[in-house]
Amino acid sequence: MNNIENLFNYTVGQFEAIDHLLTMGVGAHFGALVFFLVVSQFVAPKYRIATALSCIVMISSGLILSSQASLWTDSFAYVDGVYRLQDLTFSNGFRYVNWMVTIPCLLVQLLIVLNLKGKELFTTATSLILAAWGMIITGYIGQLYEVSDMSMLMYWGAASTVFFIIMNFIVGKKIAAQKSTMTGGTHETIMKVFWLMMFAWTLYPIAYLVPAFMNNADGVILRQLLFTIADISSKVIYGLMITYIAIQQSAVAGYLPAQQVLGKIGFDVKAA
């Protein structure tokens, strides 16, 4: 039992709150998948891979969260007025496996709408993906100790934070350097994307640290709430903003479907 979720009994309200949070995450990601598939036709080929990557993120995250929701309900049974752990155990480790796929996709999406090309795109993406994987792997190791050794949880959390800072520094530097190349007023939107990333990605380390400051059943609810808000913000809302930037820049570049759809929903199509 490597996660605190397996240490406690839960009231009906506590158990259902976690079940509902996990289910909400599933619905948000699969609903967004439909949206991204529909609007991909309005994105110019130059940016379409960004929308395709959003679809990959939605599928990967939706499937993992669906598995998490099923594992939660299968791991506990209602006995004597509370939900008690059975033969199975619940694990947040699956989230880290998912992040190994989704975070590189999210980062590459950003670089595409920032208009990076060729060698610069490749080298920047490589640096970001390596930093992201370092962050995820060290975080995964750390969460294995959250029940047995709090000092190791903190040690590996600190190591993960180093990679987190490196990754965010690279992202911030590239946005600052490239926002002047963005058209259709999207240089303002990209700054909103940056602050969304900082907000959402900071929720994950807070969730990681929940065993250190709220090691009880309510702490489990808090952690799953933080995970859900972070997932929807950093993947669904982030993807919507990236897609808007892609469509806006496509319209300014003369891509007719983008101009038509922006006109229909009331957005002005004009160069920055």
Cα dist. 93→2, 4, 57, 185, 217 in Å? 9, 12, 18, 40, 19
141, 163 Cβ separation under 8 angstroms:
no
Give the tens place of pLDDT for each residue, 161-194.
999 999 999 999 999 999 999 998 899 999 999 9
pLDDT classification of 78: cutoffs 50, 70, 90: very high
Question: What is residue 263's predicted lDDT score, i.e. its pLDDT?
Answer: 82
Q: Is 132:107 a contact under the CB 8 Å cutoff?
A: yes
Answer whether 135's CB lies under 8 Å from 178's CB: no
262 vs 50, residue with greater confidence: 50
The C-alpha atoms of residue 53 and residue 50 are separated, in whole angstroms, by 5
pLDDT in tens, 93-152: 999 999 999 999 999 999 999 999 999 999 999 999 999 999 999 999 999 999 999 999
Instruction: Name the maximum alpha-carbon separation found in the chain.
Output: 66
CA 118, chain centre distance (Å)? 26
Cα–Cα nearest to 18, from 234, 219, 236: 219
Q: What is the mean pLDDT of the chain?
A: 95
Domains in the chain and their CATH numbers?
A: 4-264 (1.20.1070.10)
Q: What whole-number distance in Å separates Cα of residue 79 and Cα of residue 156?
A: 37
Rounded to an integer, what distance in angstroms lies between the CA atom of residue 107 and that of residue 167?
Answer: 10
Contact 46, 253 (CB under 8 A): yes
For residue 266, what pLDDT is reported?
A: 65
- The Cα 194–Cα 167 span in angstroms is 12
pLDDT at position 130? 98
For the chain, percent helix, then strand, then coil, each to nearest 5? 80, 5, 15
Q: Which residues pair with 98 in a beta bridge?
A: none
Distance CA 65, CA 51 (A): 21
The pLDDT value given to residue 2: 80
Kind and range of the H or E element at 78?
Answer: strand 76-79
Looking up tokens 């939706």, which residue turns up? 62
* Confidence category of residue 272, pLDDT binned at 50, 70, 90: very low
